[in-house]
Structure 1
Amino acid sequence: MWEFIGLLSMFAIVIFMFMAALSFFKKSGKVKKYLFYAAGCFVLLIAALSIDISDDKETASTKVASEVQNEGNAVKEEKTEEEKAVAEAEAKKKAEEEARKQEEAEAKRKAEEEAAKTPQQKMFEQIMGLIDAKQAFDSGSYIKGDLPPGEYAFISFDGSGKYYAEKDTAGNIIDNENFDSFGYVHVHDVGNIETGGVLISTGAFGTLGVSSAKEIYQVLNNVEDYKQSALYKVGTDIPAGQYVIESYGNGYVAKMSGPVGKSDIIDNENFNGRFMVNVTNGQYLQISNGTIAQ
């Protein structure tokens, strides 16, 4: 607007100066009037220029202020993003530290619980794992196909039964036994099986950290150096050699060629008192109502 007024004032000054010069030559007496008008337009021009310059300065100042503000906002925004990143990093670090502490606490708790377990509890848990893996079978009845053929340790424990039997599909007994404590059976997988104790594949002994049925029985029943009635595997439960068996009441001793279900009697004897027997590796020694004295 003021630029237009200034331009108009300049045009008016030129006109009035021209009119004043023309009046001077014509001597019409209007020179002063035109000069006065020209002077007024000049004042208006000066005013317009001053206001326009002021507006330009204000605009420039506003622009500079805006740029400064924008730069400030950019710096502030950049700082905010940086602070946000730092805060997120700190939060992540704190969360990771908290998770690590929880893991350590959980590991410590489990270690303490494991340390507090008795050998019996640990053995029960390991056997349950073997049952889940189909390498051991709890007391109960089974049909053909439930148990893979092979040799198993029969282990009785507090509250379990002691009877074992395998029958073919016609109901004929292949073999059966009333175990006093522990022993060994051979599963043919030809029919029905009934077991009062737990059956553990001899191939799974390493998983339990043992090498014999006797070791498993001792842990499950909290006994040490067991020498009572059982079906011992020579070279595994006891070393080969000569043994003296003492009876309590009427005792029975049998030297067997294999486990129940895959065995022949090599020698046997009913006795009351003391009986001496020699056994070699691979044989099985059955003792009922007696104990190994020496």
Structure 2
Amino acid sequence: MKKGLKFGCLGIIALIVLMVIIGFLVGNDEEVIDKPDVNQESATDSNAINTKEETTESAEKEEAGSHAIKAGTYKVGTDIEAGEYLIFSEGFGYIEAAKDSTGNLESIVFNANLTEDSHTYATLSDGQYFKLQGAKMYPVTEAPSVIPEDGVYRDGMYRVGKDIPAGEYKIILESEAGMGYIEVSKDSSYDLESIVTNENLQADTYLTVQEGQYLTLQGAKIETK
């Protein structure tokens, strides 16, 4: 009788131990199933960051483009503020500042033709009438950079110290016609008295520019890399 009870107790104990082991194994299995995939979460987070950066970059470009002043004739001080602007040609462009709206040649303060895919600076004064054709412009504080990513400066006007460092450069003639033009000026007023030096090019040359000056290239280039 005592033997039977002993075996019975042992059986109950063995059954309890077996149930504990099964419960432990089942619990471990559930933990493995519910464990998150760390690599998958990292990839998802990375994709979210990249998408956010692309969206931000796109929004910044759209915002910059929305500041552009499109082709037209504007009265400075009424339609647009006086100050300095950066102008980008859209194909071939033309700019003109006049003292009044008579259309007389004597009223023209300055004018310039813009070559394809070029840019220039212009400072406008109150009361002037500014004509913008085949181009768009921005106040300089809102304008896109004109620093070339490949380090090659081509047709356009560059502010020394901002768009191109001061120093000596080799000017390389690039025009297929065999004629180029370079000009260094004190400002972007287009006043003849502001010109420091200018030259029609028929061959390569060297030029030194200083901080604050404006360098104009036409049919020529500067390689900085």
Q: Shorter-chain TM-score: which interval?
A: 0.5 to 0.7
* Superposed counterparts of 1:71-150, under 5 Å: 112=51, 115=54, 124-130=61-67, 136-144=68-76, 145-150=78-83
Q: Which one of the candidate residues 107, 123, 140 is aligned to 1:202?
A: 140
Amino-acid identity (%): 26
Paired residues, what number?
Answer: 165
**Separation of aligned partners in 1, 2:88 and 2:163:** 13
Greater share of strand residues, 1 or 2? 2
CA contact 1:147–1:187 (8 Å) conserved in 2? no
**Separation of aligned partners in 1, 2:51 and 2:220:** 41
**Separation of aligned partners in 1, 2:129 and 2:221:** 33
**Separation of aligned partners in 1, 2:189 and 2:88:** 13
Q: Which residue of 1 aligns with 2:4?
A: none
1:154 lines up with 2:87 in the alignment: yes
Q: Which residue of 2 aligns with 1:239?
A: 165
Larger Rg: 1
- One-letter amino acid matched to 2:161: G
Where relative contact order (Cα < 8 A, 6+ residues apart) is larger, the structure is: 2
TM-score by length of 2: 0.63
Gaps of 5+ in 2: 1-46
Deviation at 1:140, TM superposition (A): 2.2
Q: 1:139 to 1:293 in 2, by over 3 A?
A: same
Q: Which residue of 2 aligns with 1:168?
A: 99
Deviation at 1:246, TM superposition (A): 1.1
Supply the RMSD in Å over aligned alpha carbons: 2.8
Deviation at 1:116, TM superposition (A): 6.3
Q: Which residue of 2 aligns with 1:177?
A: 112
TM-score by length of 1: 0.49
1:230 lines up with 2:156 in the alignment: yes
- One-letter amino acid matched to 1:287: L
Gaps of 5+ in 1: 1-107, 131-135
Deviation at 1:245, TM superposition (A): 0.6
| Runs of 4+ with deviation above 6 angstroms | none
Deviation at 1:224, TM superposition (A): 4.0
Q: Which residue of 2 aligns with 1:250?
A: 179
Deviation at 1:201, TM superposition (A): 0.8
